Copies of this chain bind each other. A is one copy, B any other.
Amino acid sequence: MNEVIDLLLRHRSIRKFTSEPVTAEQRTAILRAAQAASTSSNMQAYSVIHVTNQALKNQLAELAGGQAYVSECPLFLVWCADLHRFAAAAGRHTDAPITGNAEHFIIATVDAALAAQNAAVAAESLGLGAVYIGGLRNKPAEVSELLGLPQLVYPVFGMCIGMPDQEPLLRPRLPLEAVYHENRYTDNPVAIDVYDETIRDYMDRRTGGKADTTWSKEMAAKTQRPRKHMKAFLQGQGFEIE
């Protein structure tokens, strides 16, 4: 429909990068674009930590479950939900305690996500590739310790950015009818049937015939690793979620 939409539709996660650095100008453009995203009541309740220290990148790669691209990528960012700065600012004028209640938790998590997505789009517009690293939530307490995150801040995900050194297949999404509803939420099991076959074909092509799976099988497998530690971790960071 236009070049921006074409860019969005071409999105693929990139996990292998050339050694070409991301320039300071590119990084600044990416971060300015992130800042321009919508934010709830202008709270800007997120922070981004640029990890330049190679030893630190190696540790984070390990904590994320041994994802080598975290240590190898030219630009590694950690996107954090951040109510600490909000609390510091508000604290100049009120004694009301700032709690990490569920609403504040949503605001900060969404603010971090909107900013990060703008960053990803900006990076891709510069010919760079990116991948989100949810694996930082495998060991969120250790990650927070390493990055010196204060109370009311947590790492939502990392992001690797760099010049792509791979051409992964475009991963097909659910049929639009599966995620789209008019006026009222409606189950669409047939769309899941259709998508199961789509993913079977895609995985077959991606693995050269080695994988025999479907979307629903993949989702069932995912229930086996639920990161049950997150609530206790978040409470330790001051998010009462209440």
Name the interface residues of A76-126: CB closer than 8 Å to any CB of B: 80, 82, 84-86, 88-94, 96, 98-99, 101-104, 106-107, 109-110, 113-114, 116-118, 120-122, 125-126
Given contact pairs A3-B3, A226-B99, A241-B102, A216 touches B110 in the complex (Cβ within 8 A) = no
Question: Which stretch of A49-57, A66-74, A161-169 is in the interface?
Answer: A49-57
Beyond A117-B114, A217-B93, whether A8 also contacts B31 by CB under 8 A is no
Whether the Cβ atoms of A231 and B242 lie closer than 8 Å is yes
**In the complex, chain B residues whose CB is within 8 Å of the CB of A230:** 101-103, 106
Contact partners of A94 in chain B: CB under 8 A? 220, 223
Q: Roughly how many angstroms separate A95 CA and B175 CA in the complex, as a whole number?
A: 25
A220-B92 in contact (CB<8A) = yes
Q: Which of B43, B118, B215 contacts A222 (CB 8 A)?
A: B43
Give the docked Cα–Cα distance between A61 and B4 (Å).
Answer: 31
Task: Give the size category of A's interface with B.
Answer: 35 or more
CB distance from A216 to the nearest CB of B (A): 4
- Asked whether A210 is an interface residue with its Cβ less than 8 Å from the other chain, the reply is no
**Residues 190-221 of A at the B interface (beta carbon under 8 Å):** 192, 215-220
A42 to B195, CA, bound (A): 12
Contact of A153 among B36, B42, B185, B216 (CB under 8 A): B185
Query: Do residues B121 and A216 form an inter-chain contact, with CB atoms below 8 A?
Result: no
Give the complex CA separation of A93 and B31 in angstroms: 42
Q: Which of A220-236 contact B (CB under 8 A)?
A: 220, 222-224, 226-228, 230-231, 234
Give the CA-CA distance A229 to B203 in the complex, in Å: 43
Pair B38/A132 contact, Cβ less than 8 Å: yes
Which residues of B lie under 8 Å from residue A1 when comparing CB positions?
Answer: 25-26, 29, 126
Among B110, B149, B180, contact of A50 (Cβ-Cβ < 8 Å): B180
Q: A: which residues have CB within 8 A of B?
A: 1-5, 7-11, 13, 25-26, 28-29, 31-33, 35-38, 40-44, 46-53, 56, 80, 82, 84-86, 88-94, 96, 98-99, 101-104, 106-107, 109-110, 113-114, 116-118, 120-122, 125-126, 131-132, 134, 137, 147-150, 153, 156-157, 171, 173-174, 176, 178-187, 189, 192, 215-220, 222-224, 226-228, 230-231, 234, 241-242
